[in-house]
Amino acid sequence: MVSLRTFFTSITSVNSRRFLGVLLLASVFVGQVDAQQSIIPRAPQIAATSYILMDAKTGEILVEENADIPLPPASLTKIMTSYVAANEVTQGNVSLDDQVHVSVKAWQMEGSKMFIQEGTQVRLEDLLRGMIVQSGNDASVAIAEHIAGSEAAFADMMNQHAELLGLNNSYFLNASGLPMPQHTMSARDLALLSKALIENFPSHYAMYSEREFTFNEIRQPNRNSLLFRDRNVDGIKTGHTDEAGYCLVASATRDDMRLIAVVMGTDSTDARAIESQKLLTYGFRFYQTLQLFENSEVLSTERVWSGKNNAVDIGITDEVYVTIPRGQEDNLVRELVIDETLKAPISAGQVLGNIKISLNDQVFYDGPVVAMEVIERGSFIKRIMDFLHLFFLNLFG
> How many C-beta atoms surround the C-beta of residue 122 within 10 A?
24
Is residue 205, in this structure, part of any structural domain at all?
A: yes
Q: Catalytic: 308?
A: no
The CA-CA-CA angle for residues 359, 362, 364, to 5°, reads: 80
Output the domain CATH number for residue 186. Answer: 3.40.710.10
Q: What is the pLDDT of residue 386?
A: 75
Same domain? For 62 and 125 the reply is yes
Q: Which ranges of the chain have pLDDT less than 70?
A: 1-37, 397
Q: Report the distance separating Cα 328 and Cα 309, nearest Å.
A: 39
Helix, coil or strand: residue 174 = coil
Q: What is the pLDDT of residue 175?
A: 98
Is residue 43, in this structure, part of any structural domain at all?
A: no
Q: Which of 164, 159, 169, 214 lies closest to 189, judged by CA?
A: 169
Residue type, 281: T
Which residue is catalytic, options 50, 75, 112, 194? 75
> Which range of residues forms the domain containing residue 320?
4-36+291-396
Output the domain CATH number for residue 311. Answer: 2.60.410.10
Same domain? For 121 and 250 the reply is yes
Query: Is the distance from CB of 143 to CB of 126 less than 8 angstroms?
Result: no
Q: Report the distance separating Cα 17 and Cα 93, nearest Å.
A: 58
Sheet architecture: strand order including 61-65: 61-65, 50-55, 257-266, 245-254, 233-241
Q: Catalytic: 135?
A: yes
Phi, psi of 290 (to 5 degrees): -120, 130
Is residue 137, in this structure, part of any structural domain at all?
A: yes
247-283 tens-digit pLDDT: 999 999 999 999 999 999 999 999 999 999 999 999 9
Q: For residue 164, how many C-alpha atoms fall within 13 Å in the half-sphere facing its CB? A: 11
Phi, psi of 339 (to 5 degrees): -50, 145
Q: Give me the helix-helix angle, 77-90 and 187-200, nearest 10°.
A: 30
Is residue 337, in this structure, part of any structural domain at all?
A: yes
Same domain? For 235 and 307 the reply is no
Same domain? For 381 and 321 the reply is yes
The CA-CA-CA angle for residues 322, 328, 333, to 5°, reads: 75
Same domain? For 177 and 258 the reply is yes
- Name the domain count of the chain: 2
Query: Is the distance from CB of 155 to CB of 174 less than 8 angstroms?
Result: yes
Same domain? For 195 and 308 the reply is no
Which residue is catalytic, options 50, 82, 103, 135? 135
Q: What is the pLDDT of residue 67?
A: 98
> How many C-beta atoms surround the C-beta of residue 359 within 10 A?
18
Which residue is catalytic, options 57, 78, 113, 278? 78
Query: Is the distance from CB of 260 to CB of 251 less than 8 angstroms?
Result: yes
Query: Residue 71 forms beta bridges with which residues?
Result: 185
Same domain? For 209 and 304 the reply is no
Is residue 233, in this structure, part of any structural domain at all?
A: yes
Q: Report the distance separating Cα 154 and Cα 150, nearest Å.
A: 6
Same domain? For 312 and 195 the reply is no
Of 266, 283, 304, at which residue does a domain stop?
266
Same domain? For 303 and 389 the reply is yes
Q: What is the pLDDT of residue 397?
A: 64
Q: Give me the helix-helix angle, 77-90 and 151-164, nearest 10°.
A: 90
Q: What is the pLDDT of residue 36?
A: 61
Q: Report the distance separating Cα 76 and Cα 63, nearest Å.
A: 20
Cis preceding linkage at 61, omega within 30? no
Q: What is the pLDDT of residue 392?
A: 77
Q: What is the pLDDT of residue 37?
A: 66
Query: Residue 22 forms beta bridges with which residues?
Result: 19
286-315 tens-digit pLDDT: 999 999 999 999 999 999 989 999 999 999
**End-to-end distance of the chain based on CA atoms, in angstroms?**
35
